[in-house]
A = this chain, B = another copy of it.
Amino acid sequence: MLSDYIKRKRLLLVDDEPDLLDMVVSILKEEGYENIRTAQSVAEALKTADEFDPELAILDVMLPDGDGFGLMEKLKEKGDYPMLFLTARGEDEDKFRGFGLGADDYMVKPFLPKELLFRIAAILRRSYKEEDPLVKLSGCEIDLERAEVIKGGEHIPLTAKEFALLSALYRNAGRIVTIDALCEAAWGDNPYGYENSLMAHIRRIREKIEKNPSKPVSLVTVKGLGYKLIAERQPGIDHKV
């Protein structure tokens, strides 16, 4: 339910109670977050932040060697990422102080795990938009948003038909796409009689994406069946056209 790129975000969790730390970490892990670091003091948090370069910080207000507000200000000097306060004190003044300093959210203990997860997801979603997907092939990358392939730092534009065909192949990366399906993708209704033209386009695409277009490794032909795009890391195969 959570996108991959969200789950990969680096989260820093700062609290002085080991029990709470454990609990929150397990909640987050359960949800699928993969990159979590913890700290139990201002000093430790600053040190960890330096090497970890977090993308979201969850801070307690009460810390043995200072408070969360001061910590937030120090963290903000080093990087601009969202901060969420998670604290036992529920006094409004504290809340406002946190927000006034630029906090992105504020939760009062005790809290419902689910609400914490939702709020974290909301902040991350809003702060880090999905970057446009770069399809990695052997030896080059394809940027479908920009309709270009990047080979050795060089940006080579795709034409309309090339774009349509590559999109169709990408949507079914790893699987065979029949000639018929490709003609359909490029010529829509009345996709007949273009088989030869399709071949010419395949050749042109290969000239852009392959190292040796005559010995294709990314856009391979499956004799008698169709073509197949071999992506380095499999994209979301489970969604249809």
When distances are taken between beta carbons in the complex, the residues of chain B under 8 Å from A128 are 238
Among B125, B160, B222, the residue within 8 A (CB) of A225 is: B160
How far, in angstroms, from A123 to B125 measured CA to CA in the complex?
Answer: 11
- Closest CB-CB distance, A124 to chain B, in whole Å? 10
Q: Name A99-117 residues within 8 Å CB distance of B.
A: 99-100, 102-105, 112, 114-115
Among B121, B174, B223, B224, the residue within 8 A (CB) of A146 is: B174
How far, in angstroms, from A104 to B126 measured CA to CA in the complex?
Answer: 8
When distances are taken between beta carbons in the complex, the residues of chain B under 8 Å from A103 are 122
Among B96, B118, B127, B147, the residue within 8 A (CB) of A99 is: B118
A92 at the interface (CB under 8 A from B): yes
B175 touches A132 (CB 8 A): yes
Contact A115:B127 (CB < 8 A) given known A122-B105, A175-B132: no
Count residues of chain A with CB under 8 A from any CB of chain B.
43
Among B123, B145, B222, the residue within 8 A (CB) of A126 is: B123
A225 touches B163 (CB 8 A): yes
This chain's copy number in the assembly: 2
A159 at the interface (CB under 8 A from B): yes
A176 at the interface (CB under 8 A from B): yes
Q: How would residues 160 to 184 of chain A score, 1 for a CB under 8 Å from any chain B CB and 0 otherwise?
A: 1101000000000011100000000
A136 at the interface (CB under 8 A from B): no
When distances are taken between beta carbons in the complex, the residues of chain B under 8 Å from A102 are 122, 125
A157 touches B122 (CB 8 A): no
| A164 to chain B: closest residue by CB | B224
Show 10 A/B contacts (Cβ-Cβ < 8 Å), sorted by A. A99-B115, A99-B119, A99-B121, A99-B122, A103-B122, A126-B127, A157-B222, A160-B224, A160-B225, A163-B225
A: which residues have CB within 8 A of B? 82, 92, 95-96, 99-100, 102-105, 112, 114-115, 118-119, 121-123, 125-129, 132, 145-147, 157, 159-161, 163, 174-176, 222-225, 228, 238-240
Q: A92-B115, A129-B238, A147-B225 are in contact. List 5 more A-B contacts (CB 8 A).
A: A96-B115, A105-B122, A145-B176, A160-B223, A163-B224
